[in-house]
Chain A
Protein backbone atom coordinates (compact mmCIF):
# COMPACT_ATOMS: atom_id res chain seq x y z
CA UNK A 1 0.00 0.00 0.00
CA UNK A 2 2.91 2.32 0.78
CA UNK A 3 4.32 1.75 -2.69
CA UNK A 4 0.95 2.70 -4.18
CA UNK A 5 0.85 6.03 -2.36
CA UNK A 6 4.48 6.69 -3.29
CA UNK A 7 3.62 6.10 -6.95
CA UNK A 8 0.58 8.36 -6.63
CA UNK A 9 2.70 11.11 -5.07
CA UNK A 10 5.33 10.73 -7.80
CA UNK A 11 2.73 11.06 -10.59
CA UNK A 12 1.17 14.08 -8.87
CA UNK A 13 4.55 15.70 -8.36
CA UNK A 14 5.85 15.16 -11.90
CA UNK A 15 2.55 16.08 -13.60
CA UNK A 16 1.90 19.05 -11.33
CA UNK A 17 5.45 20.26 -11.85
CA UNK A 18 5.11 20.03 -15.62
CA UNK A 19 1.87 22.04 -15.54
CA UNK A 20 3.41 24.63 -13.22
CA UNK A 21 6.41 24.94 -15.56
CA UNK A 22 4.07 25.38 -18.53
CA UNK A 23 2.05 28.09 -16.83
CA UNK A 24 5.21 29.92 -15.70
CA UNK A 25 6.33 30.45 -19.29
CA UNK A 26 2.98 31.73 -20.48
CA UNK A 27 0.86 33.47 -21.51
CA UNK A 28 2.79 35.37 -24.11
CA UNK A 29 2.14 36.02 -27.75
CA UNK A 30 5.82 35.75 -28.57
CA UNK A 31 5.95 32.10 -27.53
CA UNK A 32 6.39 29.82 -30.51
CA UNK A 33 3.32 27.81 -31.34
CA UNK A 34 1.82 25.83 -34.11
CA UNK A 35 -0.68 27.74 -36.22
CA UNK A 36 -4.32 26.98 -35.69
CA UNK A 37 -4.77 24.60 -38.52
CA UNK A 38 -1.04 23.79 -38.83
CA UNK A 39 -0.12 20.25 -39.68
CA UNK A 40 -3.68 19.05 -39.35
CA UNK A 41 -4.99 20.86 -42.41
CA UNK A 42 -7.55 18.68 -44.08
CA UNK A 43 -6.90 20.17 -47.51
CA UNK A 44 -4.11 22.21 -49.01
CA UNK A 45 -5.46 22.50 -52.48
CA UNK A 46 -6.56 25.89 -53.70
CA UNK A 47 -10.04 26.53 -55.00
CA UNK A 48 -8.55 29.11 -57.35
CA UNK A 49 -9.56 31.95 -55.10
CA UNK A 50 -7.27 34.97 -55.47
CA UNK A 51 -8.29 37.06 -52.49
CA UNK A 52 -11.01 39.52 -51.59
CA UNK A 53 -10.89 42.84 -53.41
CA UNK A 54 -11.93 46.42 -52.80
CA UNK A 55 -12.54 48.84 -55.63
CA UNK A 56 -13.66 48.82 -59.22
CA UNK A 57 -12.71 46.00 -61.56
CA UNK A 58 -11.94 48.69 -64.12
CA UNK A 59 -9.31 50.36 -61.93
CA UNK A 60 -6.05 50.61 -63.90
CA UNK A 61 -3.87 49.68 -60.95
CA UNK A 62 -4.09 46.71 -58.67
CA UNK A 63 -2.34 46.50 -55.33
CA UNK A 64 -2.00 43.07 -53.77
CA UNK A 65 -1.34 42.97 -50.07
CA UNK A 66 0.01 39.87 -48.31
CA UNK A 67 -0.99 40.30 -44.71
CA UNK A 68 -1.31 38.59 -41.36
CA UNK A 69 -4.11 39.50 -38.98
CA UNK A 70 -1.90 39.02 -35.92
CA UNK A 71 0.95 41.15 -37.24
CA UNK A 72 1.16 44.55 -35.48
CA UNK A 73 2.57 46.32 -38.57
CA UNK A 74 -0.34 45.03 -40.63
CA UNK A 75 -2.75 46.30 -37.99
CA UNK A 76 -1.07 49.68 -37.97
CA UNK A 77 -1.21 49.85 -41.76
CA UNK A 78 -4.87 48.78 -41.82
CA UNK A 79 -5.97 51.31 -39.22
CA UNK A 80 -3.75 54.31 -40.06
CA UNK A 81 -2.91 54.18 -43.77
CA UNK A 82 -5.71 52.14 -45.25
CA UNK A 83 -8.58 54.55 -44.50
CA UNK A 84 -6.76 57.27 -46.50
CA UNK A 85 -5.98 54.83 -49.31
CA UNK A 86 -9.60 53.74 -49.44
CA UNK A 87 -10.78 57.32 -49.67
CA UNK A 88 -8.18 58.73 -52.06
CA UNK A 89 -7.26 55.79 -54.27
CA UNK A 90 -9.91 53.08 -54.07
CA UNK A 91 -13.11 55.14 -53.88
CA UNK A 92 -11.85 57.30 -56.75
CA UNK A 93 -11.51 54.28 -59.03
CA UNK A 94 -7.74 54.51 -59.34
CA UNK A 95 -6.88 51.36 -57.46
CA UNK A 96 -8.30 47.93 -56.85
CA UNK A 97 -7.00 46.44 -53.60
CA UNK A 98 -6.54 42.69 -53.21
CA UNK A 99 -6.02 41.07 -49.81
CA UNK A 100 -4.09 37.80 -49.60
CA UNK A 101 -3.56 35.78 -46.45
CA UNK A 102 -0.03 35.20 -45.27
CA UNK A 103 -0.33 34.03 -41.66
CA UNK A 104 3.15 33.75 -40.22
CA UNK A 105 3.98 30.48 -38.42
CA UNK A 106 5.31 32.41 -35.42
CA UNK A 107 1.85 33.82 -34.74
CA UNK A 108 -0.38 31.63 -32.66
CA UNK A 109 -3.80 32.73 -33.84
CA UNK A 110 -3.22 34.39 -37.21
CA UNK A 111 -4.40 31.40 -39.19
CA UNK A 112 -7.50 31.19 -37.02
CA UNK A 113 -8.12 34.91 -37.62
CA UNK A 114 -7.66 34.38 -41.37
CA UNK A 115 -10.26 31.62 -41.18
CA UNK A 116 -12.65 33.96 -39.37
CA UNK A 117 -12.23 36.56 -42.10
CA UNK A 118 -12.72 33.96 -44.84
CA UNK A 119 -15.85 32.68 -43.11
CA UNK A 120 -17.13 36.25 -42.92
CA UNK A 121 -16.26 36.65 -46.60
CA UNK A 122 -18.46 33.67 -47.36
CA UNK A 123 -21.35 35.82 -46.13
CA UNK A 124 -20.13 38.91 -47.99
CA UNK A 125 -18.56 40.56 -44.95
CA UNK A 126 -14.85 39.97 -45.40
CA UNK A 127 -13.83 43.62 -45.18
CA UNK A 128 -16.07 44.25 -42.20
CA UNK A 129 -14.39 41.35 -40.37
CA UNK A 130 -10.98 42.52 -41.60
CA UNK A 131 -11.66 45.88 -39.97
CA UNK A 132 -12.85 44.29 -36.73
CA UNK A 133 -9.77 42.09 -36.48
CA UNK A 134 -7.36 44.94 -37.09
CA UNK A 135 -9.18 47.70 -35.20
CA UNK A 136 -9.65 45.61 -32.04
CA UNK A 137 -6.13 44.25 -32.20
CA UNK A 138 -5.71 43.73 -28.44
CA UNK A 139 -6.55 40.06 -28.97
CA UNK A 140 -3.15 39.62 -30.65
CA UNK A 141 -1.32 40.79 -27.55
CA UNK A 142 -3.05 38.80 -24.85
CA UNK A 143 -2.14 35.29 -26.03
CA UNK A 144 -5.60 34.18 -24.93
CA UNK A 145 -7.86 32.06 -27.04
CA UNK A 146 -9.77 34.55 -29.22
CA UNK A 147 -12.59 32.24 -30.27
CA UNK A 148 -15.31 33.99 -28.29
CA UNK A 149 -14.02 37.42 -29.26
CA UNK A 150 -13.99 36.56 -32.97
CA UNK A 151 -17.52 35.25 -32.59
CA UNK A 152 -18.46 38.60 -31.06
CA UNK A 153 -16.90 40.31 -34.08
CA UNK A 154 -18.92 38.02 -36.34
CA UNK A 155 -22.05 39.01 -34.48
CA UNK A 156 -21.13 42.70 -34.62
CA UNK A 157 -20.76 42.66 -38.40
CA UNK A 158 -24.10 40.89 -38.76
CA UNK A 159 -23.07 37.38 -39.71
CA UNK A 160 -25.37 34.40 -39.46
CA UNK A 161 -23.64 32.77 -36.48
CA UNK A 162 -24.77 29.23 -37.26
CA UNK A 163 -23.21 29.46 -40.70
CA UNK A 164 -20.12 31.14 -39.24
CA UNK A 165 -19.72 28.40 -36.60
CA UNK A 166 -20.13 25.66 -39.18
CA UNK A 167 -17.55 27.33 -41.41
CA UNK A 168 -15.06 27.77 -38.57
CA UNK A 169 -15.51 24.30 -37.12
CA UNK A 170 -15.10 22.69 -40.50
CA UNK A 171 -12.09 24.92 -41.27
CA UNK A 172 -13.76 25.35 -44.63
CA UNK A 173 -11.18 27.72 -46.06
CA UNK A 174 -8.02 26.29 -44.51
CA UNK A 175 -6.93 25.05 -47.93
CA UNK A 176 -7.54 28.45 -49.47
CA UNK A 177 -5.39 30.12 -46.82
CA UNK A 178 -2.63 27.58 -47.26
CA UNK A 179 -2.70 28.11 -51.02
CA UNK A 180 -2.38 31.86 -50.46
CA UNK A 181 0.65 31.25 -48.24
CA UNK A 182 2.22 29.05 -50.90
CA UNK A 183 1.58 31.66 -53.59
CA UNK A 184 3.15 34.30 -51.36
CA UNK A 185 6.18 32.12 -50.75
CA UNK A 186 6.53 31.60 -54.50
CA UNK A 187 6.69 35.40 -54.78
CA UNK A 188 9.37 35.48 -52.06
CA UNK A 189 7.09 37.06 -49.50
CA UNK A 190 8.98 36.70 -46.25
CA UNK A 191 7.23 39.12 -43.91
CA UNK A 192 4.05 41.08 -43.60
CA UNK A 193 2.71 43.32 -44.90
CA UNK A 194 4.19 42.86 -48.37
CA UNK A 195 2.72 44.69 -51.35
CA UNK A 196 2.75 44.20 -55.10
CA UNK A 197 1.64 47.02 -57.36
CA UNK A 198 0.51 45.72 -60.74
CA UNK A 199 2.50 42.61 -59.99
CA UNK A 200 5.70 44.44 -59.10
CA UNK A 201 6.97 44.28 -55.54
CA UNK A 202 6.65 47.55 -53.63
CA UNK A 203 9.73 48.02 -51.48
CA UNK A 204 9.06 51.50 -50.14
CA UNK A 205 7.75 52.49 -46.75
CA UNK A 206 4.05 51.61 -46.93
CA UNK A 207 2.27 54.89 -46.28
CA UNK A 208 -0.77 56.32 -47.98
CA UNK A 209 1.40 59.12 -49.39
CA UNK A 210 3.88 56.65 -50.89
CA UNK A 211 1.07 54.68 -52.54
CA UNK A 212 -0.56 57.87 -53.77
CA UNK A 213 2.57 59.15 -55.47
CA UNK A 214 3.30 55.71 -56.95
CA UNK A 215 -0.26 55.38 -58.25
CA UNK A 216 -0.22 58.95 -59.63
CA UNK A 217 3.03 58.20 -61.44
CA UNK A 218 1.70 54.96 -62.90
CA UNK A 219 -1.59 56.55 -63.89
CA UNK A 220 0.24 59.25 -65.86
CA UNK A 221 2.30 56.60 -67.64
CA UNK A 222 -0.75 54.55 -68.63
CA UNK A 223 -2.96 57.48 -69.74
CA UNK A 224 -3.49 57.45 -73.52
CA UNK A 225 -1.88 60.37 -75.33
CA UNK A 226 -4.27 62.77 -77.02
Chain B
Protein backbone atom coordinates (compact mmCIF):
# COMPACT_ATOMS: atom_id res chain seq x y z
CA UNK B 1 0.00 0.00 0.00
CA UNK B 2 2.80 2.40 0.96
CA UNK B 3 4.46 1.72 -2.40
CA UNK B 4 1.32 2.69 -4.33
CA UNK B 5 0.83 5.78 -2.21
CA UNK B 6 4.37 6.88 -3.01
CA UNK B 7 3.70 6.28 -6.71
CA UNK B 8 0.54 8.41 -6.52
CA UNK B 9 2.41 11.31 -4.88
CA UNK B 10 5.19 11.04 -7.48
CA UNK B 11 2.63 10.90 -10.31
CA UNK B 12 1.02 14.06 -8.99
CA UNK B 13 4.41 15.80 -8.85
CA UNK B 14 5.11 14.63 -12.42
CA UNK B 15 1.71 15.85 -13.53
CA UNK B 16 2.48 19.30 -12.12
CA UNK B 17 5.88 19.46 -13.85
CA UNK B 18 4.41 18.29 -17.18
CA UNK B 19 1.53 20.77 -16.84
CA UNK B 20 4.03 23.59 -16.24
CA UNK B 21 5.96 22.67 -19.40
CA UNK B 22 2.76 22.26 -21.40
CA UNK B 23 1.38 25.65 -20.31
CA UNK B 24 4.66 27.18 -21.41
CA UNK B 25 4.48 25.38 -24.75
CA UNK B 26 1.01 26.72 -25.51
CA UNK B 27 1.97 30.24 -24.45
CA UNK B 28 0.11 30.55 -21.13
CA UNK B 29 3.42 30.87 -19.27
CA UNK B 30 5.80 33.22 -21.03
CA UNK B 31 9.10 32.38 -19.41
CA UNK B 32 10.35 29.09 -18.01
CA UNK B 33 12.24 29.27 -14.75
CA UNK B 34 15.20 27.28 -15.98
CA UNK B 35 18.64 27.94 -14.53
CA UNK B 36 20.52 26.05 -17.22
CA UNK B 37 19.23 28.06 -20.17
CA UNK B 38 18.64 24.79 -22.01
CA UNK B 39 14.86 24.75 -21.54
CA UNK B 40 14.30 27.15 -24.42
CA UNK B 41 16.49 25.16 -26.77
CA UNK B 42 14.73 21.95 -25.87
CA UNK B 43 11.21 23.37 -25.88
CA UNK B 44 11.78 25.19 -29.16
CA UNK B 45 13.18 22.15 -30.96
CA UNK B 46 11.17 19.93 -33.28
CA UNK B 47 11.54 17.13 -30.75
CA UNK B 48 9.24 19.04 -28.38
CA UNK B 49 6.34 17.76 -30.49
CA UNK B 50 5.32 14.23 -31.36
CA UNK B 51 3.03 13.95 -34.40
CA UNK B 52 1.91 17.52 -33.78
CA UNK B 53 1.21 16.94 -30.09
CA UNK B 54 3.46 18.75 -27.59
CA UNK B 55 5.62 16.22 -25.77
CA UNK B 56 4.73 18.00 -22.52
CA UNK B 57 1.06 17.19 -23.15
CA UNK B 58 1.98 13.53 -23.64
CA UNK B 59 3.55 13.82 -20.18
CA UNK B 60 0.39 15.40 -18.77
CA UNK B 61 -1.72 12.56 -20.17
CA UNK B 62 0.72 9.87 -18.98
CA UNK B 63 1.04 11.20 -15.44
CA UNK B 64 -2.74 11.75 -15.24
CA UNK B 65 -3.27 8.10 -16.21
CA UNK B 66 -0.73 6.95 -13.61
CA UNK B 67 -2.36 9.17 -10.99
CA UNK B 68 -5.84 7.89 -11.83
CA UNK B 69 -4.85 4.22 -11.77
CA UNK B 70 -2.76 4.79 -8.65
CA UNK B 71 -5.66 6.44 -6.81
CA UNK B 72 -7.87 3.48 -7.66
CA UNK B 73 -5.09 1.17 -6.51
CA UNK B 74 -4.85 2.70 -3.02
CA UNK B 75 -8.53 2.04 -2.33
CA UNK B 76 -8.94 -0.93 0.07
CA UNK B 77 -11.09 -2.80 -2.47
CA UNK B 78 -8.27 -2.77 -5.03
CA UNK B 79 -5.26 -2.95 -2.69
CA UNK B 80 -4.45 -6.54 -3.66
CA UNK B 81 -5.72 -6.31 -7.24
CA UNK B 82 -3.06 -7.69 -9.58
CA UNK B 83 -4.60 -5.89 -12.57
CA UNK B 84 -3.81 -2.52 -11.00
CA UNK B 85 -0.22 -3.62 -10.40
CA UNK B 86 0.12 -4.76 -14.01
CA UNK B 87 -1.44 -1.58 -15.40
CA UNK B 88 0.79 0.63 -13.26
CA UNK B 89 3.86 -1.32 -14.38
CA UNK B 90 2.84 -1.08 -18.04
CA UNK B 91 2.18 2.67 -17.87
CA UNK B 92 5.39 3.31 -15.93
CA UNK B 93 7.45 1.26 -18.40
CA UNK B 94 6.09 3.20 -21.39
CA UNK B 95 6.73 6.47 -19.53
CA UNK B 96 10.25 5.43 -18.54
CA UNK B 97 11.10 4.40 -22.12
CA UNK B 98 9.75 7.71 -23.42
CA UNK B 99 11.80 9.62 -20.83
CA UNK B 100 14.92 7.69 -21.87
CA UNK B 101 14.32 8.62 -25.50
CA UNK B 102 13.80 12.30 -24.67
CA UNK B 103 16.89 12.44 -22.45
CA UNK B 104 18.96 10.86 -25.22
CA UNK B 105 17.66 13.53 -27.64
CA UNK B 106 18.66 16.25 -25.17
CA UNK B 107 22.12 14.81 -24.61
CA UNK B 108 23.13 13.66 -28.07
CA UNK B 109 21.08 15.70 -30.56
CA UNK B 110 20.23 19.01 -28.95
CA UNK B 111 23.22 19.19 -26.60
CA UNK B 112 21.01 21.06 -24.15
CA UNK B 113 19.43 19.95 -20.90
CA UNK B 114 16.08 21.20 -19.68
CA UNK B 115 16.06 21.13 -15.89
CA UNK B 116 12.34 20.38 -15.71
CA UNK B 117 12.67 17.50 -18.17
CA UNK B 118 15.39 16.04 -15.94
CA UNK B 119 13.08 16.36 -12.92
CA UNK B 120 10.32 14.60 -14.87
CA UNK B 121 12.72 11.87 -15.99
CA UNK B 122 13.80 11.32 -12.37
CA UNK B 123 10.14 11.10 -11.25
CA UNK B 124 9.14 8.58 -13.90
CA UNK B 125 12.27 6.53 -13.17
CA UNK B 126 11.32 6.37 -9.48
CA UNK B 127 7.74 5.40 -10.41
CA UNK B 128 9.06 2.71 -12.74
CA UNK B 129 11.34 1.24 -10.07
CA UNK B 130 8.44 1.18 -7.60
CA UNK B 131 6.12 -0.35 -10.21
CA UNK B 132 8.62 -3.14 -10.96
CA UNK B 133 9.06 -3.73 -7.25
CA UNK B 134 5.28 -3.93 -6.95
CA UNK B 135 5.21 -6.46 -9.76
CA UNK B 136 7.84 -8.57 -7.98
CA UNK B 137 5.84 -8.62 -4.75
CA UNK B 138 2.41 -8.98 -6.34
CA UNK B 139 0.48 -12.12 -5.48
CA UNK B 140 0.45 -14.69 -8.25
CA UNK B 141 -2.60 -14.86 -10.49
CA UNK B 142 -5.05 -17.49 -9.22
CA UNK B 143 -5.14 -20.78 -11.13
CA UNK B 144 -8.44 -21.46 -12.79
Bound form: Cα–Cα A32–B31 in Å? 8
Q: How far is the CA of A108 from the CA of B39 in the complex (A)?
A: 11
Chain B neighbourhood of A32, CB < 8 A: 31
List chain B residues, Cβ under 8 A from A112: 40-41, 44
Q: How many residues of A contact B (CB 8 A)?
A: 42
Residues in chain A near residue B38, CB distance under 8 A: 38-40
**Chain A residues positioned under 8 Å from B37 (CB to CB):** 34-40
Q: Which residue of A lies closest to B15 (CB)?
A: A15
For A22, list chain B residues within 8 Å (CB): 20, 23, 29, 33
Residues of B within 8 A of A29 (CB): 30
Contact B31 A33 (CB under 8 A): yes
Q: Closest CB-CB distance, B4 to chain A, in whole Å?
A: 10
CB-based contact A108/B8 at 8 Å: no
Counting chain B residues whose Cβ lies within 8 A of the other chain, the interface size class is: 35 or more
Provide the bound-state CA to CA distance between A26 and B33, in Å. 11
**CB atoms of A35 and B40 under 8 A apart:** yes
Is B19 an interface residue, CB under 8 A from the partner?
A: yes
Question: Are B41 and A37 touching (Cβ within 8 A)?
Answer: yes
Residues of B within 8 A of A142 (CB): 27
**Does A187 touch B at the CB level, under 8 Å?**
no
Chain A binding surface SS class: loop
Pick the interface stretch among B92-100, B104-112, B126-134. Answer: B104-112
* CB of B124 within 8 Å of the partner chain: no
Q: When A12-B12, A19-B16, A169-B47 are in contact, do A39 and B36 touch as well, CB less than 8 Å?
A: yes
Tell me the interface secondary structure of chain B in the complex.
helix
Q: Which residues of the partner chain B approach A36 to less than 8 Å between Cβ atoms?
A: 37, 40-41, 44
Shortest distance between the CB of A153 and any CB in chain B (Å): 14
- Tell me whether A15 and B13 are in contact (CB under 8 A): yes
Q: Name the B residues within 8 Å of A19 (CB-CB).
A: 16, 19-20, 23, 29
Cβ contact within 8 Å between B25 and A145: yes
Q: Which residues from A are CB-within-8-Å of B39? A: 34
B36 contacts A40, C-beta separation under 8 Å? yes
Interface residue stretch chosen among A3-11, A65-73, A123-131, A196-204: A3-11
Indicate if the CB atoms of A40 and B23 lie closer than 8 Å. Answer: no
The B-contacting residues of A in range 144-164, CB under 8 angstroms, are 144-147
Q: How far is the CB of B12 from chain A (nearest CB, A)?
A: 5
Q: Determine if A216 is an interface residue (Cβ-Cβ < 8 Å).
A: no
Closest chain B residue, CB of each to CB of A32: B31
User: Which partner residue on chain A sits nearest B109 by CB separation?
Assistant: A169
Q: Which residue of A lies closest to B16 (CB)?
A: A15
B34 in the interface, Cβ–Cβ < 8 Å? yes
Query: Which residue of the partner chain B has the closest CB to A4?
Result: B5
Q: Is A114 an interface residue (CB 8 A)?
A: no
Is there an interface contact between B20 and A40, defined as CB atoms closer than 8 Å?
Answer: no
Given the complex, which residues of B lie within 8 Å of A37, measured CB to CB? Answer: 37, 40-41, 112
Cβ-based interface call for B43 (8 A): yes
Contacting pair B23 A23 (CB below 8 A) = yes
Is A118 in contact with chain B by the CB < 8 A criterion? no
Enumerate 12 A-B pairs (CB-CB under 8 Å) in ascending A order. Answer: A1-B74, A4-B9, A11-B16, A16-B16, A22-B23, A27-B29, A28-B31, A37-B41, A38-B38, A40-B37, A145-B44, A147-B44
Residues of A within 8 A of B (CB): 1, 4, 7-8, 11-12, 15-16, 18-19, 22-23, 25-29, 31-40, 42, 108-109, 112, 142-147, 165, 168-171
Q: Which 3 A-B pairs have the closest CB atoms?
A: A38-B37, A27-B30, A26-B30
